[in-house]
Structure 1
Amino acid sequence: MWNEHRLLILVICLVLGGGLTAAVLGVSQATGPDAGAAAGGPVASDYVDIRDVPRVPAAAPAPGPEGSAGSMVVNCGRNEQGHYNEDNLVVSPGLTGGAHHTHAYVGNLSTNAMSTDASLAAAATSCTGGDRSTYYWPVLRRPDRAGTHAHEGAAGHGNVGEIVPEASVLVEFRGNPVSKVVPMPRFLRGITGDAVAFTADSEADVRARWGCSGSPDRSTTRYPRCPAGERVTRTLVFPSCWNGIDTAGATTHRSHLRFPAANGVCPNDTFPVPELRVSLAYEIPPGLNVALDSFPEQRHSPKTDHAMFVNAMTERQMAGVVECLNKNRNCRA
């Protein structure tokens, strides 16, 4: 009986000791230089001091005599309505929660997985000029604070923490430096960036750029550390060469819209349409670690930043955009 009692005590000690060892190791891993790896990222190497990022010249070539040098800013607010969901109308239409992470929206106030062209055309919008298009992107979070709202915990899949609201959202259309632009067809779908860039074979589709408001000539694919008083920025530029055939693309949702070459020339058999550019800015305390919503295996990598849109402008509204760009004016809607 005594031997059995001693054996039971020995087993309990081994179990408790193993648990304590695991806990110690867990703490050690969680506080190391790449602490986020154990919890699914981000890791220390995902961040960079913006002052260590090289300055780069302006990416866009100067417009030529046949180009369209205008711009049109569409005032859609900064999601004051709190329009969030885990849907992706462009990539996963009809599948509620298909994004597996939370998106923030401006523009069309009804957008979800079940939206149709007809429902978008009939919905209310946050855009002051009446544009019913939908513009959306994955949210940015503070993992150091627990989210208290339903949309801050609904996505799951490792996307936790308080959502950082956008301090500003700029929706802008630009022309083409070497050509006049033609109208986007109504209900054209578009995507920029690569939501699976962390595990992809190449970074060819990585398009989003991060930066700081005080350093417009520096951009990176990593989370920037900005000096005090500056905002963290995200710039998402969409492809602007349309194949003239379909509005949604096949399989990858990219084949119908392609990016122009560095000199602005569109690929053969495509037509230049207005270039959509969404610029986001955030108030982030210096040194704070933030995390972009992502699929679990993507570990909140900043390279996975992406955005989507559906053009629900009326033909008259789109004609106004095209006229503004082709006549080299700077306009607001």
Structure 2
Amino acid sequence: MLFRNRRTTERRGRGILPAWRYRIAGLAAAALALSFVQANVGSAAVDPTADRPQAAADVVRVAEFLAECPYTHRAPDDPIVFPGLPGASHMHSFFGNDTTNARSDLGSLEKGRTTCAPATDLSSYWVPTLYDGDKEVEPTGTTFYYLGEGVRDDVIRTIRPLPRGLRIVAGNAVATGPDDNTISRWSCLHHGEVNPSHDFVNCPAGSMLESYLDFPQCWNGRDLDSADHKSHMAYPVGGECPSTHPVPVPKLRQVLRYPVNGDPGRLRLASGRGYTMHGDFFNVWPEAEMAQRVRDCINAIIKCGADGHP
């Protein structure tokens, strides 16, 4: 009689399989179950978003960068209108480059120091001095914005850096009435109920007198200055630059805040009434610094701070 070894064979249905195959199958099933458990434990313990970088901070979609350039000095000089002629001008208040005088040129300003933040801006900015009676009043807020506004978004994306050494005069120093200077306006800090005007306004107690002046933002692409210090620049028309001045550049907006309020009858500028407000700009930004800000802030339509970043 033939006896079958139970340790080496098992009966399944009508066939007989070797026992070692069942043991292997059992081990495989156990391994599969273990891997399933480990996979589920791992997925529960690991946050699938943990390795994702955090979203970038929201940016403000305004084409802008700026420089804060406190007051430096006063002098009856104007190196753009009266170059090389000390004392030939009415009194000016200067901001930014602290070496500016009647003999200043690009070379001398490049060697100067600045009150600006960022300190890379060696440009010089100046305006007629404000008087309260016979007392000079200097602004305590001095912000110079570089903007894309004034042209369409598609034009903003083509704006080019202001050329180094560019000189511009904005406003009308010889205006005889408010309508002779439509790009300059006066207002009151935090008091929008006081209508802006081309002449001085009466600001409530506790407020400050503000001056806004917009420089032209279309360049003829050739000249760093012109005989009248204006003709090489133009203002946009219909959201784009005119064919005579085809190169869009950042608009410089000068915002000055003076610590005066009340009756404007006692106020005057060195050039005359409030509507004679004007500003001079001598660009001494390093080319790389200006180019980076135009690319990353103006062309990208992103609001940047003095450091050139959002």
TM-score (norm: length of structure 2): 0.72
Aligned residues: 236
Query: For residues 154-165 of structure 1, what are the structure 2 equivalents within 5 Å?
Result: 161-165=134-138
Aligned match of 1:125? 114
Shift of 1:111: 0.6
Work out the percentage of aligned pairs sharing the same amino acid.
Answer: 33
Give the Cα separation in 2 of the matches to 1:236 and 1:203.
15
Would the aligned equivalents of 2:209 and 2:261 in 1 still touch at CA under 8 Å?
no
Q: Alpha carbon RMSD of aligned pairs, Å?
A: 1.8
Query: For residues 148-227 of structure 1, what are the structure 2 equivalents within 5 Å?
Result: 161-176=134-149, 177-178=151-152, 179=155, 180=157, 181-198=159-176, 203-216=179-192, 218-227=195-204
Aligned match of 1:90? 80
The question of 1:317 aligning with 2:286 is answered no
Would the aligned equivalents of 1:73 and 1:331 in 2 still touch at CA under 8 Å?
yes
* Partner SS, residue 128 of structure 1: coil
Give the Cα separation in 1 of the matches to 2:255 and 2:108.
27
Aligned match of 1:327? 300
Aligned match of 2:254? 278
Shift of 1:282: 1.3
Query: For residues 243-258 of structure 1, what are the structure 2 equivalents within 5 Å?
Result: 243-249=220-226, 251-258=227-234
Give the letter for the 2:235 counterpart.
Answer: F
1:138 to 101, 104, 128: 128
The question of 1:74 aligning with 2:67 is answered yes
The question of 1:260 aligning with 2:236 is answered yes
1:307 to 279, 286, 303: 279
Aligned CA distance change for structure 1 residues 254 and 116 (closer, same or farther; 3 Å): same
Aligned match of 1:228? 205
Would the aligned equivalents of 1:197 and 1:206 in 2 still touch at CA under 8 Å?
no
* Partner SS, residue 298 of structure 2: helix
Aligned CA distance change for structure 1 residues 72 and 284 (closer, same or farther; 3 Å): same
Shift of 1:204: 5.0
Would the aligned equivalents of 2:207 and 2:261 in 1 still touch at CA under 8 Å?
no
Give the Cα separation in 1 of the matches to 2:99 and 2:182.
29
Give the Cα separation in 2 of the matches to 1:293 and 1:308.
14
Give the Cα separation in 1 of the matches to 2:181 and 2:167.
17
CA deviations over 1:150-188 (Å, ceiling 9, x no partner): xxxxxxxxxxx1111212111110014311211111010
Shift of 1:216: 4.2
Aligned match of 1:29? none
Shift of 1:264: 2.5
CA deviations over 1:239-273 (Å, ceiling 9, x no partner): 11000010001x21111011112x43211132110
Give the Cα separation in 2 of the matches to 1:205 and 1:283.
23
Give the Cα separation in 1 of the matches to 2:180 and 2:92.
23
Give the letter for the 1:291 counterpart.
Answer: R
Aligned CA distance change for structure 1 residues 319 and 216 (closer, same or farther; 3 Å): farther
Give the letter for the 2:129 counterpart.
Answer: V
TM-score (norm: length of structure 1): 0.67
Shift of 1:205: 4.7
Give the unaligned 5+ runs of structure 1. Answer: 1-67, 144-160, 295-299
* Partner SS, residue 225 of structure 1: coil
Shift of 1:124: 0.7
Would the aligned equivalents of 1:206 and 1:304 in 2 still touch at CA under 8 Å?
no
Give the letter for the 1:226 counterpart.
Answer: C
Give the Cα separation in 2 of the matches to 1:285 and 1:189.
32
* Partner SS, residue 141 of structure 1: strand
Shift of 1:275: 0.4
2:103 to 114, 119, 125: 114
Would the aligned equivalents of 2:64 and 2:302 in 1 still touch at CA under 8 Å?
yes
